[in-house]
Chain A
Amino acid sequence: MNIQVDLTESDNILEGFIRGEIDAHTAPVLREKLETYQNHQGLKAELDLSNVNYMDSTGLGVFVAFYKSVNSNGGHVKLKGLSARLKRLFDITGLGDIMDIESVGKGGN
């Protein structure tokens, strides 16, 4: 039950690397870090999830809340490096259609 969140922002471009597990225990950590940036106007966020080995619906909730907020402020969120399992989660929930997600190795959605 460990998570590592590295976020760097400059010129309204947010680059993030998330490692570990995103579940009910670790999701609050991620949420808190993302909340710092979610109200920026026109933010372009790119989050790399290649090293996320587990995510459940709580983790999903964090990303959706972030996505909703950034979008309403005229920005854009892209998630990349999704494993097959993660991509399935986004596809089943229908979030894969409304969010910009990219799985490992392949391009776009």
Chain B
Amino acid sequence: MSDQSSVEILTEWDIVAARQLGRNVAKELGFGTVDQARITTAISELARNIYLYAGKGRIEIQQLTENGIKGILIIAADSGPGIPDIRKVMEDGFTTSGGLGAGLPGVKRLMDDFKIETILGEGTDIRATKWLR
């Protein structure tokens, strides 16, 4: 696989490119259709957030192996304004998802591991992992 393991997010089209990248890697790793869809949706959500709130950032996809188990790592990084109240954005409810159940809580549900780091004025770094079952 070529080393195009990350996508810059600037326009809405870049979201599609990030999805494509994620799906390719997921397929290569051996994830089934449903998990491919979940991983791609998670990437879509994260890329969309970058596009809407940070203006610019990148999605990086990495392949992992731990204790013989393969997995996919999504890194969503931006140098946007940062998130003022992490607790609030991780809460279920209308403000985060508009009743759609998506948003960051949704990403957390789609993946196995979820980690978020944010610094006000500097940016946000989100890492989500899914393991092959």
Chain A in direct contact with chain B (Cβ < 8 angstroms): no
